[in-house]
Chain A
């Protein structure tokens, strides 16, 4: 470290504080963080390129495997995009079923984050309790879709399985229990001294920075920016279902977690409303959609971490010409250095977990041809 007055500490890519492969080069002066440089490129899988080689139907399952936690939301976005390219109508019942699964996924994704938060700030009991309650949501997902995590539920034109009245009763019963537990967790987040001391006033993100760097999802909402794709760009059945967009003005790590806690109540209400008002009718087209006419479209959905965008170009036939995926973590993680300014080094995990990092879905690599030699660089390198 000669020549520089700062000490550089590498955190990651394999590190107990972070469960995903990303390297943070942290420059510190004493205990204060001066700068954080995120370095990606450890988990690139080339899914966008793979989508071009496979058919539209195979890409549905590929899209679901971009991110393990939000797989239904990825397949929903991909299917919405295909439906916009091909002008395909979706039956109302299928739209409601998509909404139910999307919201269940938001609930279990946020609960997983609470568990990780408990683990990182040294509150192991919270981890155990949240993981136990998350299990009931996963059981509901298995009841509806057939799988706990990888649902493979949404297809272009509809969904794959139908709901029976007995299953609806089970869903309602389980949601009542989950709502009671979320109320308890809200009390914990508001009153527990460990959580308040570790998260309050840590990782401040101003409204100006949200607009300047384009933060999305609960992170933007916790800084007072009312941005939610479910209201802005209607998809699935969200235009029929009433719900509130939660915003807070504290701008710190604690408010980012509290936005998620309040969103859980909204998600539970949405699922209950959707199962009560489930329309009758078919759940998808009779024939599977294998070819899409030429055209291009953009679809946006609200993933648990923010706005997810798919852009598909079709030149006719059974394969897409281009599939572009823009995940919410991409913006949130690459620009996270503004939150770490003047924070303590020990607060780094507490700030990072409030961003809900999902590294595997944001990983991109760009190949630059130079003098006949292929060079692989991450987007962070190219942006400098």
Chain B
């Protein structure tokens, strides 16, 4: 699956525009100084076409070898980078 590095994200929303499965949602990050919105990827909807990786002008998306998505809760497969940081 693809991983987002929000330090590189410039909130341009190209990934959310192009996502054929409407899996990417731009979410407000009030703590950010300059670019207030960052992408949250719902891997329950994602079709793994990697169009987001391709269109990103700042290479904020990185493909990875991770594939273990199985979870008991639907919310767990929505990868919110900020929330994950809080949990861990």
Chain A positions within 8 Å of B, measured between CB atoms, are 54-55, 57-62, 65, 146-147, 150, 152, 160, 288
Decide if B55 touches A152 in the complex (CB within 8 Å). Answer: no
Residues of chain B contacted by A62 (CB below 8 angstroms): 20
Residue of A nearest to B18 (CB): A57
User: How far does the alpha carbon of A60 sit from the alpha carbon of B49 in the complex, in Å?
Assistant: 10
Decide if A288 touches B55 in the complex (CB within 8 Å). Answer: yes
* Residue B50, interface by CB 8 Å: yes
Decide if A160 touches B20 in the complex (CB within 8 Å). Answer: no
User: How far does the alpha carbon of A60 sit from the alpha carbon of B18 in the complex, in Å?
Assistant: 11
User: How far does the alpha carbon of A138 sit from the alpha carbon of B52 in the complex, in Å?
Assistant: 24
Known: A160-B54, A288-B55. A54 touches B20 (CB 8 A): yes
Residues of chain B contacted by A146 (CB below 8 angstroms): 50
Residues of chain A contacted by B51 (CB below 8 angstroms): 57, 61, 152
Residues of chain B contacted by A54 (CB below 8 angstroms): 20
User: How far does the alpha carbon of A61 sit from the alpha carbon of B18 in the complex, in Å?
Assistant: 10
Decide if A150 touches B48 in the complex (CB within 8 Å). Answer: yes
Which among A57, A59, A65, A152 is the interface contact of B50 at CB below 8 angstroms? Answer: A152
Chain A interface mostly = loop
Decide if A61 touches B55 in the complex (CB within 8 Å). Answer: no
Which among A58, A147, A288 is the interface contact of B48 at CB below 8 angstroms? Answer: A147
Type the 1/0 row for B51-69, where 1 means its CB is closer than 8 Å to any CB of A.
1001100000000000000
In the assembled complex, how far is the CB of residue B51 from the closest CB belonging to chain A, in whole angstroms?
Answer: 7
Residue of A nearest to B47 (CB): A61
Decide if A61 touches B49 in the complex (CB within 8 Å). Answer: yes
Q: How large is the interface on B (under 10, 10 to 19, 20 to 34, 35 or more residues)?
A: 10 to 19
Of the A-B pairs whose beta carbons lie under 8 Å apart in the complex, a sample of 24, sorted by A's number, is A54-B20, A57-B18, A57-B20, A57-B51, A58-B18, A58-B19, A58-B20, A59-B20, A60-B20, A61-B20, A61-B21, A61-B47, A61-B49, A61-B51, A62-B20, A65-B47, A146-B50, A147-B48, A150-B47, A150-B48, A152-B49, A152-B50, A152-B51, A288-B55
A-B interface, 6 closest residue pairs, ranked by CB to CB distance from nearest: A61-B20, A58-B20, A152-B49, A61-B49, A57-B18, A62-B20
Chain B positions within 8 Å of A, measured between CB atoms, are 18-21, 47-51, 54-55
In the assembled complex, how far is the CB of residue A101 from the closest CB belonging to chain B, in whole angstroms?
Answer: 15
In the assembled complex, how far is the CB of residue A266 from the closest CB belonging to chain B, in whole angstroms?
Answer: 30
User: How far does the alpha carbon of A62 sit from the alpha carbon of B21 in the complex, in Å?
Assistant: 9
User: How far does the alpha carbon of A60 sit from the alpha carbon of B21 in the complex, in Å?
Assistant: 12
Residues of chain B contacted by A152 (CB below 8 angstroms): 49-51
Residue of A nearest to B55 (CB): A288
Residue of A nearest to B17 (CB): A55
In the assembled complex, how far is the CB of residue A186 from the closest CB belonging to chain B, in whole angstroms?
Answer: 36
In the assembled complex, how far is the CB of residue A217 from the closest CB belonging to chain B, in whole angstroms?
Answer: 28
User: How far does the alpha carbon of A57 sit from the alpha carbon of B20 in the complex, in Å?
Assistant: 8
Residues of chain B contacted by A59 (CB below 8 angstroms): 20
Residue of B nearest to A62 (CB): B20
Determine which residue in B18, B19, B20, B48 has the highest number of CB atoms from chain A within 10 A of its CB, and name it. Answer: B20
Residues of chain B contacted by A288 (CB below 8 angstroms): 55
Residues of chain B contacted by A65 (CB below 8 angstroms): 47
User: How far does the alpha carbon of A3 sit from the alpha carbon of B52 in the complex, in Å?
Assistant: 62
Residue of B nearest to A59 (CB): B20
Residues of chain A contacted by B18 (CB below 8 angstroms): 55, 57-58
Residue of A nearest to B54 (CB): A160
Residues of chain B contacted by A150 (CB below 8 angstroms): 47-49
Residues of chain A contacted by B55 (CB below 8 angstroms): 288
In the assembled complex, how far is the CB of residue A143 from the closest CB belonging to chain B, in whole angstroms?
Answer: 15
In the assembled complex, how far is the CB of residue A58 from the closest CB belonging to chain B, in whole angstroms?
Answer: 4
User: How far does the alpha carbon of A229 sit from the alpha carbon of B23 in the complex, in Å?
Assistant: 37
User: How far does the alpha carbon of A178 sit from the alpha carbon of B50 in the complex, in Å?
Assistant: 30
In the assembled complex, how far is the CB of residue B42 from the closest CB belonging to chain A, in whole angstroms?
Answer: 16
User: How far does the alpha carbon of A288 sit from the alpha carbon of B54 in the complex, in Å?
Assistant: 10
User: How far does the alpha carbon of A47 sit from the alpha carbon of B18 in the complex, in Å?
Assistant: 18
User: How far does the alpha carbon of A146 sit from the alpha carbon of B18 in the complex, in Å?
Assistant: 20
User: How far does the alpha carbon of A57 sit from the alpha carbon of B47 in the complex, in Å?
Assistant: 15
